[in-house]
Structure 1
Amino acid sequence: MPPVTQLNVELLRRLSEIDGVPGREEHVRDLVVAEIQGLVDEIREDALGNVVALKRGTAPDGERKKIMLSAHMDEIGFIVKFVDDKGYLRLQNLGGFDTRNLFARNVTVWTKDGPLPGILSPGGRPVHIATPEDRKKVPEIKEFFVDLGRSGEDVKAKVRVGDPVTLDQAFREIGDLLCGKAMDDRASVFVQIEVLRALQNAAPTHDVYAVFSTQEEVGLRGAIVAAYSVEPDIGIGLDVTLAVDTPGVGPDEAVTKMGEGVAVKLYDSTMISTRWLVDEFVALAEDKRIPYQLEILPLGGTDGAAIQRTRGGVPTLTLSLPTRYIHTIVESIHATDTQAEIDLLVAYLTK
């Protein structure tokens, strides 16, 4: 099957580099709404900031089902929880971090008057004067601070408790990999936008509700609200998953492999995908010769779980993009897998 659309890498770059921690997704939301204007029949924003876009299907009234897709706009990050007298900021994390990946990072603090550049580092001695015990220690989030290079008085005048703090990273293409921050889950936001674009040329059979959700990283909160409102007949979560096909990990723990296709999730710690729906997607992928792989993720969850549990329950699965280095600023996806997910979704929605 030829690809239904060519990857718009420039849009993916913009989505990766834009900032939006849970509860403060407004920059991402503005970009999403601008991109989908004219691609759908309705766009609305709900009380939690979700974007809910409707693309009506071609089946007769009374026969159309509601198919809900959901990809989350938020990225892991921080908010300011304390400003000390010297102007150093202490942080509350929003989402899960491996603190070994947070040493000496450039960050941006988003104040009411605009962004301020800063440096994130843990407290303690640098390596030149550290003891052997210091060097072995893995710091906790509470030990990290942000240095804004300003006086305490100046910082307190500019920064408020609750201001978002995001990690800085430029998007890069590395061979076949597309690498940057917030691929979890802007890569799926990108897929969802490109699916809506492709549906301009091949209309969906049933009504498609494309949800760009908020606050997934702190408990699937946006998708819970959106699914309750939409009342879908079928749910499809869109997210990333581990691809630990790298040195130091055995193949039995890799979860997925880069470049081998979109992952059809069977299980994670928040949901078991509906089996008949899994079988339908697998059969379609094989019929259309779209590369796919099956996924079992020991720990983690997606918006699919929120959809599946809404009201009386919804048949649901999640499609995942294999991703290396998840929850870092160098999250990497593969062009082949991304194209496969777009193609499979379009094939399903138009069959």
Structure 2
Amino acid sequence: MINVELLKKICETPGAPGYEQRIREFILAEVTPLVDKVEVDAMGNVVAIKKGQQDKKVMVAAHMDEIGFIVTHIDEDGFIRFHTLGGFDPKTLTSQRVIVHGRKDFIGVMGSKPIHLMKPEERNKQLPISEYYIDLGMPRDEVVKYVAVGDSITRERELIEMGNCVNSKSMDNRVSVFILLETLRALKDQTVPYDIYGVFTVQEEVGLRGAISSAHLIDPDFGFGLDVTIAFDVPGAQAHEYVTSLGKGAAIKILDGMTICDYRMVNYMKKTADAHDIPWQPEVLPAGGTDTAGVQRYGKKGAIAGAISIPLRNMHQTIEMANKADIRHCIDLLTHCLSELQQYDWSFENVDGNRSKPAADDSYDFL
């Protein structure tokens, strides 16, 4: 159904925001044989280009960074203090293993005040990030030989298969990196209507920074965000809170906290999914945002943009879980969407997207 071994390597390769060197090198090795040209811009975004038949640009953004930490202080006993890179729920950190990426990698353990020593009023409070430290099991003299302020830290968790799902740290957003790679693999020997810019972006978790700069450079006509979304289909959740559910197909984003997707793109993705019998579900996410916002707004003329989202349980926690069939459906939907873009009527006047056959020159303007 999917190449789990490749997904495992992608998820387990480190790359905190601003420190994406290792995952970037992995992506470059995988994507270069699949496309016509590969570039790395000044920020570190990987731009994989597949040439199309007509002079329009399609940008697909999947961020390669994962939430992580950065070393801010090493105390006299060798314990490391840190700051977050991306959003964390502090209650998920206690006693978790991490990897400190100094001059070489070290396994560390997140620690905090033991519950036995807490005052009664402290036990019911959530500890702030500032109360946590990392223990490398070494004295300060050994730690400072290899670790310095500014070194990055990522979580230590392997990917496993669990039932119909895959379970790992950093499924956000390494599953989208996997989907984009597999889509470009599927399109390798196909003719596509427009130039495809598959962009593996940096620093999404700290403000969509890579997507903003790459969209400004590419100036796409069409844009696809590719990221995870919340699946809250768990005990205690009300049906209206689910956002999405595992196993019910690719999620087609309608809106999130930063983007109202273009209604034409939403309709196009729904029609494409139905035409190819690809299961899908609508996504309305009340808060949060993805690279879709950067793709939509930061080109010189804006882009007709939408997003394919992968339902995910336990987002931004120690482990995250996605359904293997959902991942497959996202690959299939993105592949068909990219290869059939010219078959849709993208004019504002068209409400439902009906179009018999595109004109030979596809000459309508987007300004």
- State whether TM-score is above 0.5: yes
Q: Distance in 2 between matches of 1:335 and 1:117?
A: 30
Match status 1:119 vs 2:117: no
The alpha carbon displacement at 1:87 in A equals 0.9
Match status 1:30 vs 2:25: yes
Q: Of the candidates 249, 261, 285, which is equivalent to residue 273 of structure 1?
A: 261
**Structure 2 residue matching 1:137: 3-state secondary structure:** coil
- Output aligned runs, 1:98-113, within 5 Å: 98-111=89-102, 113=103
Stretches of structure 2 that go unaligned for 5 or more consecutive residues are: 341-367
Contact 2:220/2:302, CA 8 A, preserved across alignment? no
**Structure 1 residue matching 2:55: 3-state secondary structure:** coil
TM-score normalised per structure 2: 0.90
Q: 4+ residue stretches of structure 1 with deviation over 3 A?
A: 128-131
Cα deviation, 1:177-204, whole Å, max 9, x if unaligned, reads: 1110110000000000000000024332
> Identity of counterpart residues, as a percentage?
42
Q: Distance in 2 between matches of 1:39 and 1:312?
A: 29
The alpha carbon displacement at 1:129 in A equals 3.7
Q: Of the candidates 53, 61, 78, which is equivalent to residue 69 of structure 2?
A: 78
Q: Of the candidates 328, 334, 341, which is equivalent to residue 323 of structure 2?
A: 334
TM-score normalised per structure 1: 0.95
**Structure 1 residue matching 2:81: 3-state secondary structure:** strand
The alpha carbon displacement at 1:207 in A equals 0.8
Cα deviation, 1:307-328, whole Å, max 9, x if unaligned, reads: 1111232111111000000001
Cα deviation, 1:113-148, whole Å, max 9, x if unaligned, reads: 2101111112x2x23343332321211111110111
Q: Which residue of 2 aligns with 1:139?
A: 127
- Output aligned runs, 1:1-351, within 5 Å: 6-57=1-52, 59=53, 63-111=54-102, 113-122=103-112, 124=113, 126-310=114-298, 311-351=300-340
Q: Distance in 1 between matches of 2:147 and 2:167?
A: 31
Cα deviation, 1:149-206, whole Å, max 9, x if unaligned, reads: 1112222232111100111101110011111011000000000000000002433221
CA RMSD in angstroms, aligned pairs only: 1.1
**Structure 1 residue matching 2:33: 3-state secondary structure:** coil
Q: Which residue of 2 aligns with 1:3?
A: none
Q: Distance in 1 between matches of 2:20 and 2:88?
A: 19
The alpha carbon displacement at 1:90 in A equals 0.6
Q: Which amino acid aligns with 2:16?
A: V
The alpha carbon displacement at 1:248 in A equals 1.6
Contact 2:219/2:301, CA 8 A, preserved across alignment? no
Aligned length: 339
> Which deviates more from structure 2 when the two are superposed, residues 283-292 or residues 149-158?
149-158
The alpha carbon displacement at 1:291 in A equals 0.5
Contact 2:32/2:48, CA 8 A, preserved across alignment? no
